[in-house]
């Protein structure tokens, strides 16, 4: 009964490189959410995805950030040309979803450090 | 103004004390309210969620929502050192149930 899985747990990139963060939802969950937690700040919503669909990307920065949840495989959060300000903990959550509210369960996070 | 406001603390209490954690919110469309616990360098763990106004109890934890005053509370009875963590309140509703809006989190330390 595995929970939400994220990898890598720690990722170090130099400015200008690309970062790819992966998230596998809990078994039976088809909805995935990405959040970012900056030092000394709360969790901020980034994007909500279902298989092959972006439902809500209102929290995604307009440039350099993209997310996908393909039919097969994990959800990917991609950050191109990383800058120091992208250093943060990135959390993925999943839920059963469908309509209305569904409890979101979080993974352990990926801690991105940009040098 | 942030949609969900939470006093970051820190809050320090002796073991066995009753802990009261609070949040306020401004978005009237919020209908679902949650409390998460986050240990250092770990992912948030869902403790409680409630719908609309009312109380919900689970073991030593009680969550209260007062929609008329836009106030959310979490009470922890007989607090233990293992309860030491950051507690995050969150809310959802309106046009996007998938988007959780979090407070800043309150750092709680329960000392023996």
**What's the pLDDT tens digit per position in A31-79?**
999 999 987 778 999 999 999 999 999 999 999 999 999 999 999 999 9
Query: By three-state DSSP, how is residue B60 classified?
Result: coil
Q: What percent of chain B has pLDDT over 70?
A: 100
B51 touches chain A (CB under 8 A): yes
Strands B54-58 and B4-6: unpaired
How far does B51 lie from chain A, in Å, by closest CA?
A: 9
| Count of other CB atoms within 10 angstroms of residue A50 | 15
Tell me how far apart the alpha carbons of residues A74 and A51 are, in angstroms, rounded to a whole number.
Answer: 10
- In a mutational test of the B interface, the residue from A56, A91, A104, A112 whose CB has the highest number of chain B CBs within 10 Å is A104
Q: Which of A42, A37, A68, A36 is nearest to A55 (CA)?
A: A68
A44 contacts B102? CB cut-off 8 A: yes
Chain B residues in contact with A43 by the CB 8 A cut-off are: 44, 88, 90, 100, 102
Please return the burial class of B90, using the count of CB atoms within 10 Å of its CB with bins 0-12, 13-18 and 19+: buried
Chains A, B: CB pairs < 8 Å: 66
pLDDT of B96 over the 80 cut: no
CA B104 to chain centre: 10
- Between B45, B98, B101, which is nearest A33 by CB? B98
What span, in angstroms and rounded, lies between the C-alpha atoms of B40 and A20? 24
Angle at A46 between CA A73 and CA A34, to 5 degrees: 35
Chain A: closest CA distance from residue B49 (Å) = 8
The pLDDT of residue A3 is above 60: yes
Locate the chain B residue with the closest alpha carbon to A88.
B41
pLDDT tens-digit series, residues A66-109 = 999 999 999 999 999 999 999 999 999 999 875 556 789 999 99
């Amino acid at each position: 009964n595995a929970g939400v899985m994220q990898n890598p747990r720690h990722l170090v990139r130099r400015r200008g490189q690309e970062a790819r963060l992966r998230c596998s939802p809990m078994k039976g969950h088809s909805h995935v959410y990405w959040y970012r937690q900056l030092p000394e700040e709360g969790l901020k919503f980034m994007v909500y995805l279902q298989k092959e669909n972006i439902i809500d990307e209102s929290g995604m920065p307009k440039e350099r950030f993209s997310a996908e949840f393909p039919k097969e495989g994990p959800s990917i959060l991609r950050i191109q040309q990383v800058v120091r300000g992208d250093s943060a903990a990135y959390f993925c959550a999943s839920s059963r979803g469908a309509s209305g509210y569904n409890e979101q369960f979080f993974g352990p996070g990926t801690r991105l450090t940009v040098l | 103004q942030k949609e969900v406001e939470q006093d970051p603390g820190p809050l320090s209490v002796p073991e066995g004390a009753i802990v009261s954690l609070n949040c306020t919110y401004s978005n009237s469309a919020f209908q679902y309210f949650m409390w998460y616990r986050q240990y250092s360098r770990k992912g948030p763990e869902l403790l409680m969620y409630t719908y609309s106004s009312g109380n919900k109890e689970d073991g030593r934890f009680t969550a209260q929502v007062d929609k008329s005053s836009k106030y959310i509370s979490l009470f922890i009875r007989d607090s233990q050192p293992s309860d030491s963590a950051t507690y995050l309140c969150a809310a959802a509703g309106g046009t996007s149930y998938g988007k959780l809006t979090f407070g800043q989190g309150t750092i709680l330390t329960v000392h023996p």
